[in-house]
Structures are given as C-alpha cells and as structure tokens.
Structure 1
Amino acid sequence: MDYVKKNKATIDQWIADGWQWGKPITHEQYATTNSDNYALFVTPTKSVPHKWLGDLAGKKVLGLAAGGGQQGPILAKLGAEVTIMDFSDYQVASERLVADREGYDVTVVQSDMSQEFPFPTDSFDVVVFPVANVYVADVQVVWQEIAWVLKPDGILISGLDNGLNYAFDNEQSQLVNKLPFNPLQNSDQMQMLAEDGAGVQFSHTIEEQIGGQIKAGFILQDVFGDTNGSGNLHNHNVPSFWATRAMLKHTGDSL
C-alpha cells in the first residue's frame, strides 16, 4: 500500500480537526522571540536547550517534517536562513502564512522524507527534525539523506519516539502489542490504527534511531527524554520520547 499517501491525508485531516502540532505560533509569540527568550520543541513537553542551537545568525537551517509554522518562525527570528520540508498540504500552507504575516523569508518545499531529499550535498548547517520517524518504515534512509544534505560538522537535532506508545492500548493501561509495531506486517495492528484514524505508523528500536544516526556518520553529543504530556504513561513519568543532538563527522558506515 502507499502508506505515505495515506499518512499525508491523515495528517491533513488532523490539522483540520485542530491538531496541536498543526497550529502556527501567534504574532505575540513571534514578536517576543529572541536569543534569550524562545522555546523550540521537537518532543511534546521539553524545549530544546538553547545551547543545542547556539548562534543561528546566518546559518542555513532545514526544518525537516517541521511545517505548520511552529519551529520555522522561531528559527527565522533567531537569524537563520530557513528551509522547511514537509509533505502535508496544510503544514506547508501554514508555514507560508506565518512568514507572510511576519514579513520574513522562508523556503518551503513539499516533499516526502522517505525518498531522496531535493537538495544538493552540504546544503545546511543545522537540521531540526521533530518527531516524525513514526511515519516512515525505514528510518535509515532518513538518516542517510540528512547526512547527505548537512555540511561537515553540521548539527542534527531530532525528536524520536522510543516505541513504548505502540506497546500499550489507547488508555495506556495494558500491554497489547509486541514490538516492533509494523502494520505492514501485522493486520491486527493495521486495523487498530484504522479504527483510531491514525494513518500508518511504525515503532523503531534504539538500534534504528540512535544506531542509525551513528551509521550515517553522526556523533551523539547530548540527549534527553520526554513524556507524552498527558495520559497514564505521562502520569507515571515514563519517557516515551528521546531528543538527540548529534554532529556529522563523515558519511557512510562508521563500523
């Protein structure tokens, strides 16, 4: 099945229904953003430490799967030359809307991150990648493409689902799925997603997420965990996400 096409339609529907990650920042939030006062999220509740981004003035930054007018406007206000790549019609429209409203330049590219990226090698100094790997079956393709478009010593800041959400039922009270969660290989899991209107999603292991970055030539520099922000796992302070800062040292397998 064309699961990417299904996910695109699903996310557009979520945004139409008021999805949290499809709501652009307000003019007031943009106006008060500066190098000392901003919160940029790649996971649900904890903002990225300011030292992870450093001084962005004049830096070329790719917001990967980061449409929607949330990360992009902050990066632009911090002085970056921003490119946003997303596959959702609504998310790219929101990105342009905020840029027009606030009067800054942004390059918006509508493209599928599971395919070859539409940029030359060494195009960016920083890639900011909120949680989106759950919509891609083979995450190694994503890490390799990021490595291709980043400059040497470029920085990747990524938000990653660690898989726990897919093991539990909707109430997060019972373990109901054996990991990995892959609906393309498990019809029950596909039915579960269909009933929830959740598109097609995948769990990924630490070997795929952290190990995949290392195989693509990245050196892990820092990490933090985060929760869902609500629900039973959150109430028990169980981290469902990781955020990583990594530096690109070389391309190709490291082992």
Structure 2
Amino acid sequence: MARGGHRFAQPAKDDEFKNPLKTIDRWGWLGESIYGKRVLCLASGGGRQGPLYAAAGAVVTVVDISGAQLEIDRKVAADRGLQLRTVEASMDDLSMFAPADFDIVIHPVSTCYVPDVAPVFREVAKVLCSGGLYVSQHKSPTSLQAEMKRGESGYELSEPYYRSGPLPEVRGSRIREEGTLEYLHRWDQLLGGICRAGMVIEDVVEPIHAKKDAEPNTFEDRSRFIAPYIRIKARRVGQEKTRTEEGSLWLPGS
C-alpha cells in the first residue's frame, strides 16, 4: 500500500511546513512550542507526522511496522534537512525504549489494526515521562458498526457492538482500508483502557468531516450521521523515579 501511493503514505505538503505546529496541533494541546521535546510518533510512518513534528523543533522518533512507510519518512527528512529516528516495530511492543523515554506520544488512527488495545496503552504509559502527553486518534466504534451505504433511515448498524475477531472486509470506503484486518474497540476499551494504563484524559474532540449538502453515500454525508473519529488528549500520571544501588530505574506508579 505504501509503495502504491496509498492516501496514508502521502508526505506532508509544502504549505503544511510553513507553520508545522499549527498544522499538527489545531486544538492547541501541545502549547506554544515543542522545541527540544522528545516526541514518539507511534504507528505513524508515511512522511507526514514525523517530519512535521521535527520541523516544529521536536526530537522525533517514528515507530511503524512497515519499513516502506518509514522509508518515506527518511526521504522526506533528508529532502528537507530534518533529523528524525525511525524504528520498525509494532505499536504494542515498545521494549526497545526505556521507561520515561518520551515527553509526548503522538498516535494517529491505527489502533483499529490490533485485536487488543490494552497492551498498546500500557506500552505508551511505560515510555511516557511523568506529566507527558499522549495524543491519539481512533475510529469510533459506531462508525465501524455501521453500513457504508445509506438506507431509508440513514446508515444502519449491522455489526454487533460486543464482538470478537476482525471486521468483514469492505471495499471502496474512506472509513475502512482494503486489504487490512480491522477490529472494533468499545468505548470502555478505548477510554477506560487509557485510564487503566496510568493516564488521565484531559480533553476529547470529534473532528468534523460532515458537510450539509453532501451527496448520499459519500464520506461527508455519512459523517453527518456518525462521527468517524475521536481524538483524545491524555496525560501520564504516577510515573515515579526510584533510586537503586545500581542506578536509576523508572517504574509506573501503582
């Protein structure tokens, strides 16, 4: 998909680099500057997230399971004279990093590709420093339940909320990615999972994609009935530094 120019493998555009912090943080969650901040862009290869955060002055590490996606990041960084580190790994195993290695973890839509989100949130909490921010975006469970085609009453729910296993494959939809396994995660697994991992949720937004006069069966029309995504700002709490005779060891708080 990355080699074929998929929409999630498109590098950031020139105008987005004019004010990179505004591009990546339209809600102002990251403050006035992230210069020098240790930022992990998690499961976010493809030439957009990592290069933009690096252009905003952060010390950036990009983790992605796809080497082809990371290659796009390296090319964009080289072309623009930016510094970033790339690591090929799964989002639910960050054992290559030490506890409290990062000030900020940025996590675009990708949790739908793992069957269990709890290990992901635990790994994020482990690598975040005390007070560190976790900014993530997820596909809403209702959107993954609903039909892609509009019926007489709107977009009907056809998938059960309490389910296991991957969702049936859907073709030709901006909500779903062909050729991938996607999983529905309930609100208690998303919101509750973040909290149980040792983070507190400070803000939640549903990015607006709806258009009033959109044609039926388009992404914009479907978004009038169902918010496709949720974006969450959470902060790490209880990450305490414990001194040992052999050095310093960071442990999650109880």
Deviations 1:16-64 (A, max 9, x none): 443222100134532x1255xx312xxxxxx641243542111100000
Tell me how far 1:116 sits from its aligned partner.
Answer: 4.0
Which gives a bigger RCO, structure 1 or 2 (Cα 8 Å, sep 6+)? 1
Q: Which has the higher strand share?
A: 2
Tell me, in whole angstroms, the C-alpha distance in 2 between the residues paired with 1:48 and 1:174: 32
The CA distance in 1 between the partners of 2:144 and 2:36, in whole Å, is 40
Structure 2 equivalent of residue 174 of structure 1: 156
List 4+ stretches of structure 1 deviating above 4 A. Answer: 193-196, 251-254
Identity of aligned residues (%): 24
CA pair 228-118 structure 1, distance change in 2 beyond 3 A: farther
Per-residue CA shift, 1:149-191, capped at 9, x if unaligned? 011111100101121222122325332211245335xxxx44x
Larger Rg, first or second structure (1 or 2): 2
Aligned with residue 23 of structure 2, among 39, 47, 61: 39
Total equivalences in the alignment:
226
Higher helix share: 1
Tell me how far apart the structure 1 counterparts of residues 226 and 156 of structure 2 sit (CA, whole Å).
Answer: 14
From 90, 114, 128, give the equivalent of 1:112.
90
Aligned partners of 1:82 and 1:94: how far apart in 2?
15
The reply on whether 1:233 has 2:222 as its aligned counterpart is: yes
1:167 to 1:26, Cα distance in 2 relative to 1, 3 A = same
**Counterpart code for 1:205:** R
The alignment's C-alpha RMSD in Å is 2.4
What is the CA deviation profile of residues 51-83 of structure 1, one whole-angstrom value per residue up to 9, with x for unaligned ones? 435421111000001111111111111110000
> If the length of structure 2 is used for normalisation, what is the TM-score?
0.80
Q: Is the 8 A contact 1:193 1:200 kept in 2?
A: no
Amino acid in the other structure paired with 1:178: P
* 1:157 maps to 2:141: no
Whole-angstrom distance in 2 between the partners of 1:167 and 1:127: 28
**Contact 2:101/2:127 (CA < 8 Å) preserved in 1?**
yes
- Quote how far apart the aligned CAs of 1:231 are: 4.3
TM-score, normalising length from structure 1?
A: 0.80
Question: Equivalent of 1:102, from 56, 59, 80?
Answer: 80
